[in-house]
Amino acid sequence: MPDDAIVSLPVSGWSGPFDPALSRAAVGALEAGQVVLLPGLAFETLAEESGLLSPSLLDGDSKNISLDPATGRVGGAVAHSALLAAMLGRFARSADSLLRSLLAPYADTLRAARTSFRPAELARREYSPRQDDRRLHVDAFPSRPTGGDRILRLFSVLPQANAPREWRLGEAFETVAARLLPALPPRTPHRARLYAVIGLTKGVRTPYDQMMLALHDRMKLDSEYQRTASFTPRAFPPGSTWLCFTDQVPHAALSGHMMLEQTFHLPVRAMADPGRSPLRVLERLMGQTLA
Ligand code: SIN
Ligand code: FE
């Protein structure tokens, strides 16, 4: 993996305006499958929030605490607290304001989805292979089909963390897809409709969603791929923020704690170069329309 996996940009505040040249650099890097690192951008918590910065906040089975923007509901925590909801809400607004001005060309079509807080050390947990984000994968959401829309995520390690978040970044999407496509199971359109009817998925999985889930699963479950794929290790220090299209950039998160994350969706047509989207790459490789 070349060491151009990351582009570092000098951004030190959560709101703009930003130089249009900086916006172009950010959009170009993201669409090319690079991670945009904002090394000087920390999310500061308030003094009264210090009690929240602990893994004991998690209920027994959750790896994350999450805030659903549609309902304002906080999930995964032992008890609902107004303080916790306020911290997550403030992070969500900061991330939103940053991306709408840093990624100015996306401002009108970017949709904010879940916010998550990941207080626990991830290296110490047990996961089933499909749930195990320590294996290289691209993101695909089982219950929320995107129909081709992009998954753009912003991550920030709190300054109070005492370790970096250690990731691996894999090869270009097209390389991975071309390698693993022949091994993917056939699609099952009737099952996609059934899942939507019984409420297992929010909307019907398109052929694209089925391919992306199959690719996600294959990457994680294929030990030969995990053993032989090339990757670049990257450590994101406390007090730093980064973002990437996680449906495109193969990534694995090996260790770290006390991180906040905000998910966004973006329609393919809003991209400067839609041809770089996983949707268009898969369609090209397979010679058919997928969404
Ligand atoms: C992931 O999206 O795979 C997890 C990222 C992280 O928790 O650092
Ligand atoms: Fe992931």
Give pLDDT tens digits for 69-86.
Answer: 989 899 999 887 899 999
Residue 139 neighbours by CB under 8 Å, 6+ apart: 151, 153, 216, 246, 247
Q: Which candidate, 250, 279, 244, 260, places its Cα nearest to that of 146?
A: 279
pLDDT digits (tens, 9 = 90+) for 8-60: 999 999 999 999 999 999 999 999 999 999 999 999 999 999 999 999 889 88
Q: What are phi and psi of 245, to 5 degrees?
A: -80, 100
Q: Does the pLDDT at position 240 exceed 50?
A: yes
**282 confidence band (pLDDT: 50, 70, 90):** very high
- State if residue 118 touches ligand 1 by the CB under 6 angstroms criterion: yes
Q: What is the mean pLDDT of residues 78-97?
A: 93
Residue 166 neighbours by CB under 8 Å, 6+ apart: 233, 234, 235, 236, 253, 254, 255, 256
Ligand of minimum distance to the alpha carbon of 155: 1
- State if residue 246 touches ligand 1 by the CB under 6 angstroms criterion: yes
Query: What pLDDT was estimated at residue 81?
Result: 86
What 3-state DSSP class applies to 220? helix
Q: How many whole angstroms from its chain centre is CA 289?
A: 25
For CA atoms 236, 3, 131, 149, give the dihedral sign. Answer: positive
Q: Residue of the nearest CA to atom 5 in ligand 1?
A: 253
Distance CA 41, CA 10 (A): 9
Candidates 35, 121, 122: which one to mutate for ligand 1, based on the most atoms within 8 Å of Cβ? 122
Q: Does the pLDDT at position 1 exceed 70?
A: no
Angle at 48 between CA 45 and CA 50, to 5 degrees: 60
Q: Residue of the nearest CA to atom 3 in ligand 1?
A: 133
Percent of the chain's residues with pLDDT above 70: 99
- State if residue 251 touches ligand 1 by the CB under 6 angstroms criterion: yes
Neighbours of 24 (CB within 10 A): 13
Q: What is the mean pLDDT of residues 268-280?
A: 98
Q: Which atom of ligand 1 is nearest to the CA of 155?
A: 8
Query: What pLDDT was estimated at residue 60?
Result: 80
Share the mean pLDDT of the chain.
95
252 Cα to the center of ligand 1, angstroms: 7
Distance CA 174, CA 186 (A): 19
Q: Does the pLDDT at position 226 exceed 70?
A: yes
Q: Does the pLDDT at position 2 exceed 80?
A: no
Inter-CA distances, 239 with 91, 120, 244, Å: 14, 17, 17
- State if residue 220 touches ligand 1 by the CB under 6 angstroms criterion: no
Percent of the chain's residues with pLDDT above 90: 87
Query: What pLDDT was estimated at residue 63?
Result: 83
Contact between 159 and 44 under an 8 Å Cβ cutoff? The reply is yes
Query: What pTM, to 2 d.p., does this model score?
Result: 0.96
Ion ligand 2 residue ranges (Cβ < 5 Å): 139
Q: What is the mean pLDDT of residues 253-260?
A: 97
pLDDT digits (tens, 9 = 90+) for 116-130: 999 999 988 788 999
Query: What pLDDT was estimated at residue 3?
Result: 62
pLDDT digits (tens, 9 = 90+) for 150-208: 999 999 999 999 999 999 999 999 999 999 999 898 888 889 999 999 999 999 999 99
